[in-house]
Amino acid sequence: MDAVEIKDLAGLVGTEVGVSDWVLIDQARVNMFAEATGDHQWIHVDVERATREIGGPIAHGYLTLSLIPFLGQGMLPVKGVTRGINYGSDKVRFINMVRVGKRVRMRQKLIGAEPKAGGMQIKNECTIEIEGEEKPACIAETISIVYGG
């Protein structure tokens, strides 16, 4: 998508703004996330046991969620932005497991844009898809505010 002015964001509400490239979820990424968060549950990090008991290790749901900023980079370029902040989320749903070795991508739709706190509050529906699977891994409504100079 081409860069837009902050004032024009409201006119894009309801528009799919982009689809990311596919990203591999490998065991190294899962292990690094476990180290960073302290979540070492066996379904994520014990490959042998997870393979034996559930068919293989799965990524943390919050790892999947944490990929949103990375996957969304450049999807909705806004001209004149001096800074942007994460404001929160309204809904987050983990619908399907991401098995280690699968690839994911994000589809993003702008679902809200309104002035707030001297900037523009934007709300996106972020759907993280799993390659080859019908059900997505995660659907999250994220909120951020962008400010222009």
pLDDT of residue 124: 97
Q: Band the pLDDT of 3: cuts 50, 70, 90.
A: confident
The string of pLDDT tens digits covering residues 9-42 is: 999 999 999 999 999 999 999 999 999 999 999 9
Please identify which residue in the block is written with the tokens 């909120």. 143
- Closest CA relative to residue 144, chosen from 75, 74, 93, 83: 83
Task: Give the domain ranges of the chain.
Answer: 4-25+59-148
Please identify which residue in the block is written with the tokens 């790892």. 63
The string of pLDDT tens digits covering residues 72-125 is: 998 988 998 999 999 999 999 999 999 999 999 999 999 999 999 899 999 999
Would you say 24 and 98 are in contact if contact means Cβ atoms under 8 Å apart? no
8-state DSSP, 6: G
Pairing between β-strand 4-5 and β-strand 78-79 as defined by DSSP bridges:
parallel
pTM of the shown model: 0.93
Q: Is the pLDDT of residue 149 over 80?
A: no
- Closest CA relative to residue 86, chosen from 143, 124, 128: 143
Q: Which CATH class is domain 4-25+59-148?
A: alpha beta
